[in-house]
Amino acid sequence: MSEAIDMQEQHELDTSWMEKMGEWGAKATPGKRGLTLDDIKVGSYGDLPKNSDNMTGRPRGATARPDAYRVGAYSVHTLSEIWLENAEFLYEEALQRQWSSATDVPWHTLKPLPDAVEEAECLLCTFFNEVEFVAGDVPARWIAKTTPDYLEARNVLSAQVMDEARHMDVFRKRALANGGGLMRMSGATSGFVGSIDLARDFTEMSTRLHISGEGAVLTMFRMGELFGQNDAEKTMYRLCAQDEARHVAFGVMHLRFMGATAPERCEEIECYLDEAEDQLLAGQQNPAGTQSETSEALAILLGGGVEQYDEGHRKLLVIRRRQLKEYMKRVISAGFSTRFENGRSPIPAAYASTN
């Protein structure tokens, strides 16, 4: 007992850490949606630095300590490089709308399909496995490059990674659940989709991924009601579409913020859009004048079989046209409408004048 008392006397309690903290007296009040990220942006804790020198992983608002290690090489440390005005909303929505591919898809509604239709669906699922892998893998790399001062944007990207993991598993499950299996890879990752990973900065990546790539996929998911052969497939596409819409919204809102706060970069962004539109138009049909394997599969699904391929192809052309139109709406919403007015965009002007 005496030894324990001696130890206590030798080591005085040091509470100096109590004096080294952020703003005291902050009180966050839950709103109608609960206690959200937006609700906790109170006092100085809500202050967003236009440029961050935080290289130590220090939570925004916490007091720095001189002996902290540099734990991150945060190349994204300027607000305009990654910010968007509705980051908090997108993150909370992502949390509230999570779903399970195991239990929320009515797998019991799968019924045997004609071989050609099953093969077409499996090819499409193989394609979506490829593109969703890129859509999750690339943002994950940028999360680690972003200063923790911009935690809201980082959180949205983290939620996207989870979404894409679920999309990969749901399409893999569909390919293996009805007597088919994975087909030959489409090669999408060796073209424009794969080039997304070559982006040199976050805005370049987001323009390619969120605005162009995921935007085109979102249109396809929304059309899942047309080419889904049963309730399981229709549900699968519908649930994936609600996730994909958030990812696309991230890109639109970030591009809008970048254009407003760093106008000197607008011409650079226009170049990214030039590239994306060339690829979108090229994707309508390959140089040989024949459809890609993915397009053929879609036409078979839309028609209901090989015998109805021509009817399915006509429906596919409507979807391709819609992809371009919805892309244009996103670019206009992001603040870059003039490219369609001054003839810079390679997309035919007729698309802009129709509903």
Let me know whether 259 and 307 are in one domain.
yes
The rounded distance, in Å, linking the Cα atoms of 139 and 141 is 5
Tell whether 19 and 127 lie within a shared domain. Answer: no
- Whether 137 and 190 map to the same domain: the answer is yes
Q: pLDDT-based confidence at 291, cuts 50/70/90?
A: low
pTM of the model: 0.90
Task: Give the number of domains in the chain.
Answer: 2
Range of the domain at 254: 79-351
Domain's final residue, options 5, 30, 46: 46
Asked if residue 220 is part of any domain, the answer here is yes
158 shares its domain with 113: yes
Report the CATH number that the domain containing residue 127 is assigned in CATH: 1.10.620.20
Confidence category of residue 288, pLDDT binned at 50, 70, 90: very low
Q: For residue 137, is it within any domain?
A: yes
Contact (CB, 8 A) for 325 and 244: no
Q: What is the pLDDT of residues 148-171, one digit of tens each?
A: 999 999 999 999 999 999 999 999
Give 342-345 contacts, CB < 8 A, sequence gap 24+: 344/270, 344/274, 345/273, 345/274, 345/277
Determine, yes or no, domain membership for 132.
yes
**Is 62 part of a structural domain of the chain?**
no
**Residues 118, 35 share a domain:** no
Structural domain contains residue 9: no
Same domain, 25 and 157: no
> What angle (nearest 5°) sits at the alpha carbon of residue 212, between those of residues 89 and 82?
45
Q: Are residues 254 and 128 in the same domain?
A: yes
Show Cβ contacts of residue 6 under 8 Å, excluding neighbours closer than 6 positions: none
pLDDT higher than 70, residue 191: no
pLDDT (mean) for 329-345: 93
